[in-house]
Amino acid sequence: MADFLAARERMVERQIAARGISGGRILDAFRAVPREQFVPEHVQEFAYEDSPLPIEADQTISQPYIVALMLEAAELEGSDKVLEVGAGSGYAAAILSQIVDEVIAIERQPELAQLAGNRMASLGYENVSIYEGDGSRGFPEKGPFEAIIVSASGSHVPEILLQQLTVGGRLLMPVGEPHEVQKLLKVVRTGDDEYEQEELGAVRFVPLIGAHAWNEQGRPSDPCPLPDLIRDAAEPLPDFDDPAFGALFDRFADARVVLLGEASHGTSEFYRARAAISKRLIEEHGFNIVAVEADWPDAASIDRYVRGRQGREGEEAPFQRFPTWMWRNTDVDAFVRWMKRHNDACGQEEMAGFYGLDLYNLGGSIRAVIDYLDDVDPEAASVARERYGCLQPYAKNPQGYGRMAMTRGFAQCEQPVVQMLRELLQKRYEYVGEDGDEYLDAAANARLVKNAEAYYRVMYHGAAESWNLRDTHMFETLCQLLEAKGPESKAIVWAHNSHIGNAAATEMGQIRDELNIGQLCKDRFKHEARLIGFGTHTGTVAAATDWDDPMEVKKVRPSLAGSYERMSHDSGVERFLLDLREGQNEQLSQALLEPRLERFIGVIYRPMTERWSHYAQAVLPQQFDAWVWFDETKAVTPLPGPQLPGEDETYPFGL
Ligand code: SAM
């Protein structure tokens, strides 16, 4: 200990005072701060050498004389607030803490920021705060500062730093190529827009790496980094219940179809945002179809409820199959109840219906067709029983049908289900007179059975073929709905980003030959289809680890460096809408064209293998017309299991 004290005194006299630094407060500060405590143990014996020293994370603690030179040039006053960029070990910040009132120091390396923060606490330097982050942007929230000391060498003096100086404020900063001799610059802000600059000599610092400095490859960073462009174009989102939330989406209301995505099947904010947007489009812009990535027969019972149509006798409670939380959750329940209230207050023609686009509930669809025919055409019902009887053994395990068809080499049930649909369509005019909605429902179910038969068969031929068949089915169901509801009809689709973001702009289309509803809608409706994607950085999500496993609330890992999500996170705006339509935010759209990773969480989430299980390359502005961002999100709250059929007092979800 005594050795360190003596060595410190020698350092002050020989390395600092002898070189002409005369400010008493600066010399006293160097006498007070134990440099040996700012370096790793194995270099402590060299703590008072006249040189920089290696510290953790491959960085350096600066040479004491250079720190003293910068602080003297900064003309510090006791009442100053000072920003240090590049806190490293925290040594220079600790010296500053002895001279001025308040020190804010920012360090890019998380490990160093943590260590420096701990040192300040253990040495009792209470007027220093250490933050992790990119200090090349400064710290506008904490500014302005009487002095800014940059302890790493930049490519230039960033304008954004100068703007954080008070008038009269001083910035000290080395500028020059990494690993070369650099110039130490002093810039004084002499007026609102006036600065004076002088050169103080040659120095050597490690590079300042950040948005307004060098990039990791040692080249100057883009002068307009993506997170800044996002921040400038981002339109902050109000609360979901504020009418201003929905109003932000009025710009998409002249479309025939607005497709609303989600980056997971278990995130509350995505459901609530889609509900707020849908309410607005229904109430103010005449949208009358809500078509969701759910099974047709299940959604049909919700539709009966919201449009005050009679339930089918013996009908099962909807959404009982895995993944139940995807629709059976408090956010969907609240939206469905809103639809009911809205519809109750308007005439039949203005009501909005709720429909399912998906084809997984084969058994439910078979039952629905037979029930319908029992009512309108009992003879046809017995033919249907016989034809669908072929699939009946597989209703609960349709994959089994696909396996059987592949093993035996022929599609035993194809003919009967195709025939069934054909006859139902042929008798359209006969049946439709009874009840148009019921006919639409039966025809959709018969189409679903036909497509599901094919879907389970091709599942064994390859993922792309079955995916394409499913998305084509969803698209055709949407088109049938629009047609059935007439030329004035307008639809809102709720489906995962992977279904609604144009597949041609992602790995799906480019590598795997997969298409999706978003792409098919763009092809058919052009600008009359608007695709809106959603994203998040971190939080929790309701998901399972494997198919048919129980739902868990899982932590969503912070998004990967370089991904679209990380760029959105780095913008610093917590909830926003980005308008990516042609002619809007052109500079941003251009910058976003570089393909990046995008995260896709479905009903399964596997954080341990996240990069491979959940990220794919995409080109965001080609995928979507808009991007909706919630930096931190929460899992949906599932509803308890269904009550017994017939308990329709608490319809539709048995709550
Ligand atoms: N003043 C420090 C001390 O007393 O230990 C020495 C600083 S060291 C020479 C430079 C530091 O700047 C490194 O720790 C490096 O990680 C950090 N750095 C580089 N780019 C940065 C950035 N954009 N923002 C914050 N810190 C950065």
The question of whether 489 is a catalytic residue gets the answer: no
- The answer as to whether 384 is a domain residue is yes
Conformational region of residue 286, where left means phi above 0, alpha means psi within -120 to 50, and beta covers everything else: left
Question: For a pocket test of ligand 1, which of 151, 156, 204 has the largest count of ligand atoms closer than 8 A to its C-beta?
Answer: 151
Q: What is the pLDDT of residue 224?
A: 73
* Ligand 1 atom with minimal separation from the 109 CA: 16
Atom 20, ligand 1: residue with shortest CA distance: 208
The string of DSSP letters for 321-375 reads SSSGGGTSBHHHHHHHHHHHHHHHTS-GGGPPEEEEEE---HHHHHHHHHHHHHH
Neighbours of 639 (CB within 10 A): 18
Q: Does 41 or 221 have the greater pLDDT score? A: 41
| Domain finish residue from 488, 510, 543 | 488
Asked whether the beta carbons of 369 and 424 are under 8 A apart, the reply is: yes
Q: Are 362 and 452 in contact (CB under 8 A)?
A: yes
Query: What is the distance in A from the centroid of ligand 1 to the CA of 182?
Result: 16
User: How far, in Å, from the CA of 152 to the mean position of ligand 1?
Assistant: 6
The more confidently predicted of residues 1 and 432 is 432
Atom index in ligand 1 nearest the CA of residue 112 equals 14
Q: Can you point out the beta strands (E) in 427-546? A: 491-494, 529-543
Q: Which of 154, 180, 203 is the last residue of a domain?
A: 203
**Residue 303, CA distances (Å) to 347, 537, 655 in order:** 15, 34, 17
CA torsion sign for 397, 301, 338, 352 is: positive
The burial of 561, by beta-carbon neighbours within 10 Å (0-12 exposed, 13-18 middle, 19 or more buried), is given as exposed
Give 397's pLDDT tier (boundaries 50, 70, 90).
confident
> Of 488, 508, 527, which residue constitutes the final position of a domain?
488
Q: Which residues line ligand 1 (CB under 6 A)?
A: 59-62, 85-89, 91-92, 106-109, 112, 134-136, 151-152, 205-206, 208-210, 213
State which of 35, 62, 108 you would mutate to test the pocket of ligand 1, scoring each by most atoms of that ligand within 8 A of its C-beta: 108
Tokens 């109003």 -> residue: 247
Residue 20 in domain: yes
Cβ atoms 259, 500 nearer than 8 A: yes
Asked whether the beta carbons of 584 and 642 are under 8 A apart, the reply is no
Give the three-class secondary structure for 644: coil
In a domain, 408, yes or no: yes
The minimum-distance atom of ligand 1 relative to the CA of 208 is: 20
d(C-alpha 272, C-alpha 636), whole Å: 10
C-alpha 81/C-alpha 104 separation (Å) is 8
Provide mean pLDDT across the span 487-508.
96
Cβ-based neighbours of 476, under 8 Å, separated by 6 or more: 447
Question: Hey, which bits of 192-287 come out as E strands?
Answer: 194-203, 235-236, 257-260
- Please tell me the residue having the least CA distance from ligand 1 atom 13: 88
24 CA from centroid of ligand 1 (Å)? 26
| Residues sharing a CB contact under 8 Å with residue 279, sequence separation 6 or more, in sequence order | 246, 335, 338, 342
Residues in the chain: 655
Cα(35) to centroid of ligand 1, in Å?
Answer: 17
Q: What pLDDT score was predicted for residue 649?
A: 41
Pocket test for ligand 1, best of 60, 62, 95, 107 (most atoms within 8 A of CB): 107
Q: Residue 390's domain spans which residues? A: 359-488
Grouping H, G, I as helix, E, B as strand and the rest as coil, residue 291 is strand
Residues whose CB falls within 8 Å of the CB of residue 120, separated by 6 or more in sequence, listed in order: 90, 93, 94, 97, 126, 128, 130
Of 291, 292, 284, 290, which is closest to residue 254 (Cα–Cα)?
284
Q: How do residues 403-462 score in pLDDT, each as one tens digit?
A: 888 887 778 899 999 999 999 999 999 998 878 899 999 999 999 999 999 999 888 877
Say if 508 falls within a structural domain: no
Measured in Å, residue 44 CA sits from the centre of ligand 1 at 20
- CATH number for the domain spanning 81: value is 3.40.50.150
Residue 61, in any domain of the structure: yes
Q: Which atom of ligand 1 is nearest to the CA of 152?
A: 10
Residue 618 backbone phi and psi in degrees, to 5? -150, 165
Q: What is the DSSP string of 584-602?
A: SSHHHHHHHTS-EEEE---
Say if residue 596's pLDDT is above 60.
Answer: yes
Distance in Å from the first CA to the final CA of the chain: 71
**Whether residue 35 has pLDDT greater than 90:** yes
Q: Are 139 and 164 in contact (CB under 8 A)?
A: yes
Neighbours of 517 (CB within 10 A): 32
Closest CA to ligand 1's atom 19: 208
Tens of pLDDT, residue by residue over 71-130, are 999 999 999 999 999 999 999 999 999 999 999 999 999 999 999 999 999 999 999 999
| Nearest-atom index, ligand 1, CA of 210 | 23
Average pLDDT across the chain, whole number: 93
Ligand 1 atom with minimal separation from the 213 CA:
23
pLDDT at 236 over 90: yes
Backbone angles phi, psi at 142, to 5 degrees: -100, -15
Both tokens assigned to 186: 């002093």
Atom from ligand 1 closest to the CA of residue 136: 23
CA 546 to chain centre: 23
Instruction: Give me the CATH number covering residue 430.
Output: 1.20.1440
Look at strands 165-175 and 145-150 and give their pairing: parallel
In a domain, 29, yes or no: yes
Ligand 1 atom nearest the C-alpha of 211 is: 23
Per-residue burial over 253-270, b = 16 or more CB atoms within 10 Å of its CB, e = otherwise: bebbbbbbbbbbbbbbbb
Nearest CA to ligand 1 atom 15: 86
- CA nearest ligand 1 atom 7, residue: 88
* d(CA 88, ligand 1 centre) in Å: 5
pLDDT digits (tens, 9 = 90+) for 127-156: 999 999 999 999 998 999 999 999 999 999
Q: Of 59, 153, 216, which is best to mutate to test ligand 1, by the most ligand atoms within 8 angstroms of its C-beta?
A: 59
Has residue 232 been placed in a domain?
A: no
The pLDDT value given to residue 648:
46
CA gyration radius, the chain: 32
User: Does some domain include residue 608?
Assistant: no
Going by CA atoms, what residue is nearest to atom 11 of ligand 1?
A: 86
CA 105 – ligand 1 centroid, Å: 10
Q: Ligand 1 centre from 109 Cα, in Å? A: 8
User: Across 347-457, where does the E strand assignment appear?
Assistant: 353-358
* CA 83 to centroid of ligand 1, rounded, Å: 12
Instruction: Say if CB 527 and CB 255 are below 8 A apart.
Output: yes
Provide the domain count of the chain: 2
How many Å lie between the centroid of ligand 1 and the Cα of residue 51? 16
| pLDDT bracket for residue 585 (50, 70, 90) | very high
Q: Among the options 22, 51, 62, 498, which is catalytic?
A: 62
Angle 136-138-140 from CA coordinates, rounded to 5°: 150
Q: What is the pLDDT of residue 642?
A: 60
